[in-house]
Each structure stands twice: as structure tokens, then as C-alpha cells.
């Protein structure tokens, strides 16, 4: 069957705040959306975004200085015309990997998202963040976020979705909040799981000899591996017997050919990262981008920055599923 092409003027529209390198943007593009504007301040993220989405206008700067009026002017829309406002405010302040302070200034960037949401009044909004925002002491922050979003004139609902059930070969849980403008009279909802998880062998087996950006294991980790011949070991006791302490060991992960890859993090300092199943190296950038759901054609500037981008991104297939659900179950209903 020939591909059905939607005329550009008929495509649903989206603006991406905190756009990063474009993981969400790619998902929306795959779902047939037209991106009117991307907002991002990180230099390398913007460089990477422009490499892959040269047709999308970018506001490269501090979101706190972007007014709703200027945002609408750059996107060529009026208040209330936008279909979807998407955003993933930086999440380090909520992350369970950090100190998780309620007052972390990085958490306040959500207020900039809410400000632009109020000004633009899109039909639908999508906000993505780490699951740490709904755990422990951060539950109060989550409840305040929901109150704020609903106060902007929206019915809002949050769910935890794991990307591995949405055609992403990686276990990556994220809180997805979807809101629908109250005057539309439609309840927000989320997509259902789309399939079984993909094991690593099905994803990167053909790249196992890839040596284009090798990051080899440190001598300490090689000693840990050799304590149990023919298989990698995550036994912290072995690690401690060699290093003398377990510093960094809990953020080091061994991949398994017959398992789903664990969550890729943005930081590869010291002994952190994901170790290849049967090579004395960490996973390569090419492998990481496949594990995150990016096509091989997606371009990054270099390994170090590329791993940061992949570790920070919303997996494109997950966002594609969310965008398709919004397109078919919310936007199509209100037409």
C-alpha cells in the first residue's frame, strides 16, 4: 500500500520546549505532526537538533526570556491555535540518582513551562519527567505541579509509562502528564502498551564489532569481569575485593544479550555506564542511539556529547505512540 501523505497545512502542530537534541521532535514527526518551533538553551543540543531538523525554527536561549507573544510570533500562530505544547523540563532535581531537594532550582523551570502554557493555550499539552517526581518527598512537588497545570485551564492526568512497551529496546520509565483544554470537553488519556519488550540481541547484534568510538573498560572493571570467565559479573562483592570500596559500582551496569537494556544515563564519568555483553568496552554511541530508539541516520556531533543527548532524551518511538494517541483520540474527536 502506498504511503499516505498528509498535506502540510492539515498536519497537527506542535511546539517543543526544552527540546534537547530532538527525541520528542522525531516522535512527533513520525506521527505526522508539523513542528512550528523548538526551544532549547544547551549549545550542543541545539547544534545536534539543527543537524537533524534544519527546517524547524529554533529559539536558542533562556526560556525565562521568551515571552508568550514572541513564542507565538516565531511559530506563526495566535493564542489557542496550537495543537500540542510539548516539554520536558530538566529533571535532575527530581531524579532518584541525585539528592532530590524540593527546592532544587532546576525544578523551578517547570514554572516557565506553565507560564507559556497559560499564554499559548494549546488544545493539548504533554509534559514528561522522571519517575522520581512521584516518589517519596517529591510527591508534594508532583501534586503542586498538577494543581498548577489544572489552574492553567486544563484537565490533566499523569501516568508512568515504560518505553520498553512502546517499541523502544530499553527499560526507561517516565512520568507522562497529558492535559486537554477544558473547553474541549475531552478527558485526557494515555496510549496502551504496544508490544513485548525487545531484547538487546534483536537490537544491536549486527553492531557488536563496531569500533568507531570505543570507550574501553578500566583495568579495575576488567579484573571484575575476569573473576568469572565467559560472563560479566555485577557482583558488588567482587568489585569491592578489587577496589576496596563500592564507589561508582552501583551506577555501572552490564548489558545482557537476552535481556532488555537498562536505562541509559547521560553521565559517563569514571566507572559509570553500560558495559557491552561480550566486549571489554562500554556500549558505543551507535549502539546507544539504537537502544534509545533513534534511527542510524540520526546525527550526533561526537561520542561524549552524543551520550549526554541520548541519556537525556525522550525515546522517539515512545513519543510517537503518545503523539498518535493524542492525534487519534483527542484532536480528531474535537474537530
Q: Which residues are catalytic?
A: 91
* Residues 163 and 315: beta-carbon distance below 8 Å: yes
Sequence-distant (6+) residues with CB within 8 A of 197 are 164, 165, 169, 171, 260
* Cα distances (angstroms) measured from residue 282 to each of 141, 193, 232, 239, 270: 35, 30, 12, 17, 12
Distance from C-alpha of 56 to C-alpha of 270, rounded to nearest angstrom: 36
Sequence-distant (6+) residues with CB within 8 A of 93 are 100, 101, 104, 105, 106, 107
| 260 three-state secondary structure | coil
Backbone angles phi, psi at 276, to 5 degrees: -60, 145
* Cα distances (angstroms) measured from residue 232 to each of 21, 85, 110, 258: 32, 44, 41, 13
Q: Which is nearest to 130 in space by CA: 90, 169, 164?
A: 90
Amino acid at each position: 500500500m502506498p504511503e499516505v501523505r498528509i498535506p502540510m497545512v492539515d498536519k497537527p502542530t506542535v511546539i517543543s520546549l526544552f527540546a534537547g537534541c530532538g527525541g520528542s521532535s522525531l516522535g512527533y514527526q513520525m506521527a505526522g505532526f508539523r513542528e512550528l518551533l523548538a526551544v532549547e538553551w544547551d549549545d550542543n543540543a541545539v547544534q545536534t537538533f539543527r543537524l537533524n531538523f534544519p527546517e524547524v525554527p529554533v529559539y536558542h536561549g533562556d526560556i525565562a526570556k521568551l515571552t508568550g507573544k514572541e513564542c507565538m510570533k516565531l511559530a506563526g500562530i495566535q493564542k489557542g491555535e496550537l495543537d500540542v505544547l510539548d516539554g520536558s523540563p530538566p529533571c535532575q532535581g527530581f531524579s532518584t540518582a541525585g539528592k532530590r531537594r524540593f527546592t532544587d532550582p532546576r525544578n523551578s523551570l517547570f514554572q516557565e513551562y506553565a507560564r507559556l502554557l497559560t499564554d499559548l493555550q494549546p488544545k493539548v499539552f504533554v509534559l514528561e519527567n522522571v519517575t522520581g517526581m512521584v516518589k517519596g518527598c517529591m510527591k508534594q512537588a508532583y501534586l503542586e505541579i498538577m494543581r498548577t497545570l489544572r489552574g492553567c485551564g486544563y484537565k490533566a492526568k499523569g501516568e508512568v509509562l515504560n518505553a520498553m512497551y512502546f517499541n523502544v529496546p530499553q527499560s526507561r520509565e517516565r512520568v507522562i502528564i497529558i492535559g486537554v483544554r477544558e473547553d474541549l470537553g475531552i478527558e485526557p488519556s494515555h496510549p496502551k502498551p504496544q508490544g513485548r519488550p525487545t531484547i538487546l540481541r534483536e537490537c544491536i547484534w549486527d553492531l557488536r564489532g563496531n569500533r568507531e568510538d570505543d570507550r574501553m573498560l578500566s583495568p579495575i572493571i576488567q579484573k571484575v569481569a575476569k573473576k568469572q570467565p565467559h560472563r560479566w559479573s555485577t557482583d558488588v562483592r567482587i568489585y569491592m575485593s578489587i577496589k576496596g570500596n563500592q564507589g561508582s559500582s552501583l551506577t555501572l551496569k552490564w548489558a545482557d544479550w537476552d535481556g532488555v537494556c537498562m536505562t541509559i544515563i547521560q553521565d559517563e564519568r569514571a566507572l559509570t555506564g553500560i558495559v557491552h555483553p561480550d566486549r571489554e568496552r562500554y556500549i558505543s554511541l551507535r549502539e546507544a542511539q539504537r537502544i534509545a530508539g533513534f534511527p542510524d541516520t540520526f546525527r550526533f556531533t561526537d561520542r561524549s556529547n552524543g551520550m549526554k543527548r541520548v541519556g537525556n532524551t525522550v525515546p522517539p518511538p515512545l513519543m510517537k505512540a503518545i503523539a498518535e494517541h493524542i492525534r487519534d483520540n483527542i484532536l480528531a474527536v474535537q474537530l
